[in-house]
Structure 1
Amino acid sequence: MRKRLFIAFIVVFVSSGALLAQEDSTTKESLSLAERVAMRSIYQIVGDIKLNGNKKTRDFIILREMAFKKGEHIADKELDKLLELSRQQIMNTLLFVDVNVYVAAKKGNVLIINVDLKERWYFFPTPYFRLVDRNFNQWWVDQKRSLDRVNYGIKFIQNNTTGRNDNLNIWFINGYTQQFTVRYDIPFIDKKLTKGFNIGFIRATQKELNYGTADNKQLFKRQESIARKFTRVDLTYSYRPDVRNRHYFKVSYNDENLSDSILLLNPNYFPGRTTRFRYIDFNYQYKYYNVDYIPYPSKGFHLEANLYKRGLTKESNLWQTSVRAIYARPLSKNSFLHFEGIGIVKLPRNDVFFNQRLLGYGLNQMRGLEYNVVDGIAGGILKTTLHKQIFGFILRNPFPSKTHDKIPIRFFLKAYGDLGYGHHINPVASNTLNNTLLRTWGLGLDMVSIYDFLFKIEYSFNQLGRNGLYLQTRREF
């Protein structure tokens, strides 16, 4: 009896579903022409996406960055947002100096989307000139503008080598560091455009080395013979499942040699108090991009997280984790707030100098403490900046160029404040910036242009009662 009732229920359910489907079809057929037109106007269909100006870059590299695909339905209210998002994501490939994404034609509710592109120059056989110090002010003041602290040479850079956003770099560097580098990077090697790899070789020597710190500053030893010799081979596997998330898995072999004179100045420079340190290290890095322009974000969120493991023996062992997050919030059309947070933790706790670099290096610098460094095993920085675009203009290229006829330049006035802290288990007595809250603040002017050019003029103050003018620049190719 139960079985019969169950079968009867199934028959009734299926029959009613068929009747409802038939009724729904009849209802659709009975809709007036005006009602059907109104329904079509709610959604647009991407009929075609036409790319213009990408002479070298492959179409699939660009189409991967689009926020929609051919044949996709887009709600009317979302169209402008998705067009702008596509423009931002294509710009963030760093392959183009200008991108314009727009509706070129419309037939009913079918859209033809145009993507107008101006490619960068991809080949740069350029001279190389770079200060080896952490920033311009340290070189200008502390090092008295010494040309002995300059690297120079030539770089052969072929970006977008095969049109797949792959890059080949060959560097011949002389001066402070004698260096030879070869590196090849290809972000996509599979049909789904999610996997890639990077391989590199570096061989370098130098006659001067930072062997310690005192008075919150680096100590250097210069000699006629080689103070440090370094060789590294590395391989990175990358995985990029979508336009915002990126994963990198890196393994490298490193061989470092010190001179005996360096070891006499600081016996604890390397683990094991040795002049030669060979090790394998592993690094996992995660990056999330959801910003309008990576080199100078005015809207969105960006996150970088690293987990680093060095050495396979107890003596050489080091674990390090670090996080860097950026949040930019627009306040008006021409102003925005910029927050940046950085955190670093190293284990195990020890006094090996090779493990101690913390604040004042690379991106981990506080504005107003450019002359100082803070060693340690754990620390962090919080930066807050208010930006206001005061003016901008388009510089016309006096030389004929289809891709670089216009050079936009923008100027931003800013006010900022930084907080920082660096923890050391056994700091040098004269390093008074360890284990204390660090505070800096100031005003500045930023100039932003193509090729991710960024020039900063900053007047900063710090808790030590010192103030001064600082210059920073960044130019990436």
Structure 2
Amino acid sequence: MRKYLICFITTFIFYQGFTQEKILIGNITIVGNKITKEAIILREITFKKGDFLSQTGIDIKTKQSKENLINLTLYNFVDISSENSGGETNIIIEVVERWYIWPYPILELSERNFNVWWDEFKESKYSDFSRMNYGVYLVWENFRGKNQLLKLKYRRGFKEHYLFRYEIPYFNKEKTIGISAFAQHFRRKKSFYNTMDNKLLYYENGDKYTIKDYEFQLSILYRKNTRHKHKLRLNYLQSNIADAIKSYNRYYLKNEKLKGDYFQINYQYANEQRDYVHYPLHGHYLHFQLKKNFEGSSPVNHFELIGKVEKHMEISNRLFIGSSFKAKVSSDDYQPYFAQKGLGFYDYVRTYEYYVVDGQHYWLSKTAIKYELIGKTNFDIPYLKMSQFKKAHYSLYLSVFSDLGYVIDKQNNENNDLTNQLLFGRGISLDYVTYYDKMLRIEFGINRLGEKGIFLHFTNPF
């Protein structure tokens, strides 16, 4: 009897899928794209004029298309609606475009994060402003209305940085292949040359630059499906150091010279299924990266494999959970110092912001349970007439987080006791999210060492 019941239910569901009325997609109208070319928007839409879809299919594809457009980060608001006309359904896509040209004046801290800078500022009795950088940074998003990206940076001060980046998402007729070019030059007066007691050791020599770095990249982008991306990148990296740095750490370049360089081939694959990449509440994300280094004047010749997975879901009304896991493995346990990174820079265990945990391999797990104090709320800013700024939104979340991490280091573990052991941090966070992908996270947490602190961040914790 049970077997017949299962067969009946399966047949019924299968039959319903075929018998649901199909709807003809008519005209697709786009409203609000004063700068963006229609082809850029239509590229993200998962249906087209002339398709026959069920109402369920239209709802699913409309949701996917809206998420695709939001994750382009070109629009503050996206709305997709439909109307029936003469036996077909017409689609209306409304977008509120952002402001795309940003000439940022630079006045920034020259440390890894705010907390590290504040500690040094306190030690100077609130008088040392020398750890500052200044200049201008031009970011031109949606360049030429084709979702191209142009970046130029001119930064002087304690840590000079000159940068050029130009990215074309696609140039072929099928809109699947793109290209990106990138070049940057760093000059630092205060340069870290080693890690001791889980802190960076710095070297300064008056107004002289102690490290000069160059990096060049050329990337080929491939995106046939709206949610799947491939990237093949060629890298060249060069570092020039002061003689004292070579004396303090002979493994910095690992070649007994004042110049070290190497080449790298990097393949990346991303499966993007999150509803909003900068602060996701639903969906999942998979990222895979394989690097092969080729030695130049420094013996950097190893493989690196990096993988990351994220999952976000709503577990109850206004209650969400998000979790991520990232791992990195290398084929060489003994690498030049300037070519390796563990935790403490881009990746970190929350509540360990003051520490750098170097190593050749690591894994990192992050989990947060978020309660929506204030859902996404739209409002108009008075006295502003420009559509790119007038209509805004904000939301507020209270979260409880728990992070785990582990770094394997075989080079310098005797001097850094946080390597080769479990790192654990937990705490609470108040997250404020607003338009232009801006957010403020105020966290209070405690780590495995028993250290407590308040930490400020301005990006997605995952």
Say yes or no: does 1:400 pair with 2:378.
Answer: no
Residue 127 of structure 1 and its aligned partner are, at CA, apart by 0.7
Say yes or no: does 1:352 pair with 2:336.
Answer: yes
Residue 46 of structure 1 and its aligned partner are, at CA, apart by 0.6
Query: Structure 2 residue aligned with 1:369, among 352, 374, 380?
Result: 352
Provide Cα deviations, 1:316-363, integer angstroms capped at 9, x if missing partner. Answer: 31321111221101113422110011101122111532234201111x
Query: Structure 1 residue aligned with 2:397, among 385, 390, 412?
Result: 412
Question: In structure 1, the residue corresponding to 2:72 is in which secondary structure?
Answer: coil
State the one-letter code of the partner of 2:48: K
| 1-structure distance, mates of 2:19, 2:148 | 42
TM-score (norm. length: structure 1): 0.87
| 2-structure distance, mates of 1:61, 1:333 | 35
Greater Cα shift, 320-329 or 350-359: 350-359
Provide Cα deviations, 1:263-305, integer angstroms capped at 9, x if missing partner. Answer: 1111110122321012222211111101110111100011221
State the one-letter code of the partner of 1:73: F
State the one-letter code of the partner of 1:168: L
**Is 2:294–2:300's contact at 8 Å kept on the other side of the alignment?**
yes
Provide Cα deviations, 1:239-277, integer angstroms capped at 9, x if missing partner. Answer: 011111111111122322101011111111012232101
Say yes or no: does 1:237 pair with 2:225.
Answer: no
- Root-mean-square deviation (CA, aligned residues, Å) is 1.9
Q: Residues 48-447 of structure 1: matches in 2 within 5 Å?
A: 48-103=27-82, 105-142=83-120, 144=122, 146-224=128-206, 225-312=208-295, 315-350=299-334, 352-362=336-346, 364-392=347-375, 393-398=377-382, 399-447=384-432
**Is 2:365–2:403's contact at 8 Å kept on the other side of the alignment?**
yes
State the one-letter code of the partner of 2:235: S
Greater Cα shift, 46-55 or 386-395: 386-395
Residue 77 of structure 1 and its aligned partner are, at CA, apart by 2.3
| 2-structure distance, mates of 1:253, 1:434 | 29
**Is 2:300–2:335's contact at 8 Å kept on the other side of the alignment?**
no
**Is 2:442–2:457's contact at 8 Å kept on the other side of the alignment?**
yes
| 1-structure distance, mates of 2:285, 2:396 | 23
**Is 2:393–2:434's contact at 8 Å kept on the other side of the alignment?**
yes
| 2-structure distance, mates of 1:381, 1:169 | 31
Partner of 2:452: 467
| 2-structure distance, mates of 1:132, 1:248 | 31
State the one-letter code of the partner of 1:191: K
Q: Which one has a bigger Cα radius of gyration?
A: 1
**Is 2:299–2:336's contact at 8 Å kept on the other side of the alignment?**
no
| 1-structure distance, mates of 2:146, 2:283 | 27
Provide Cα deviations, 1:349-378, integer angstroms capped at 9, x if missing partner. Answer: 11532234201111x111111111111111
Residue 84 of structure 1 and its aligned partner are, at CA, apart by 1.9
Give the number of aligned pairs.
Answer: 435
Greater Cα shift, 248-257 or 46-55: 248-257
| 2-structure distance, mates of 1:150, 1:318 | 36
Where do 5+ consecutive residues of structure 1 fail to align?
1-38
**Is 1:238–1:247's contact at 8 Å kept on the other side of the alignment?**
yes
Question: In structure 2, the residue corresponding to 1:141 is in which secondary structure?
Answer: helix
Partner of 2:8: none
Partner of 1:35: none
Greater Cα shift, 434-443 or 350-359: 350-359
Aligned residues with identical type, % of pairs? 29
**Is 1:292–1:299's contact at 8 Å kept on the other side of the alignment?**
yes
**Is 1:210–1:221's contact at 8 Å kept on the other side of the alignment?**
yes
Aligned CA distance change for structure 1 residues 92 and 120 (closer, same or farther; 3 Å): same
State the one-letter code of the partner of 1:114: I
Greater Cα shift, 271-280 or 111-120: 271-280
State the one-letter code of the partner of 2:112: R
Question: In structure 2, the residue corresponding to 1:359 is in which secondary structure?
Answer: coil
**Is 1:54–1:117's contact at 8 Å kept on the other side of the alignment?**
yes
| 1-structure distance, mates of 2:96, 2:105 | 25
| 2-structure distance, mates of 1:284, 1:309 | 9
| 2-structure distance, mates of 1:182, 1:436 | 40
| 2-structure distance, mates of 1:91, 1:333 | 23
**Is 1:311–1:317's contact at 8 Å kept on the other side of the alignment?**
yes
Question: In structure 2, the residue corresponding to 1:429 is in which secondary structure?
Answer: helix
| 2-structure distance, mates of 1:386, 1:80 | 28
Aligned CA distance change for structure 1 residues 285 and 386 (closer, same or farther; 3 Å): same
Aligned CA distance change for structure 1 residues 304 and 147 (closer, same or farther; 3 Å): farther
Greater Cα shift, 325-334 or 109-118: 325-334
Question: In structure 2, the residue corresponding to 1:261 is in which secondary structure?
Answer: helix
Partner of 1:19: none
**Is 2:278–2:459's contact at 8 Å kept on the other side of the alignment?**
no
Where do 5+ consecutive residues of structure 2 fail to align?
1-17
State the one-letter code of the partner of 1:330: E
**Is 1:214–1:428's contact at 8 Å kept on the other side of the alignment?**
no
State the one-letter code of the partner of 1:384: T
Question: In structure 1, the residue corresponding to 2:67 is in which secondary structure?
Answer: helix
State the one-letter code of the partner of 1:189: F
Residue 418 of structure 1 and its aligned partner are, at CA, apart by 0.8
Residue 132 of structure 1 and its aligned partner are, at CA, apart by 3.1
State the one-letter code of the partner of 1:302: Y
Residue 179 of structure 1 and its aligned partner are, at CA, apart by 2.2
| 2-structure distance, mates of 1:271, 1:138 | 29
Residue 385 of structure 1 and its aligned partner are, at CA, apart by 0.5
Aligned CA distance change for structure 1 residues 286 and 266 (closer, same or farther; 3 Å): same
Residue 204 of structure 1 and its aligned partner are, at CA, apart by 2.4
| 2-structure distance, mates of 1:308, 1:271 | 20
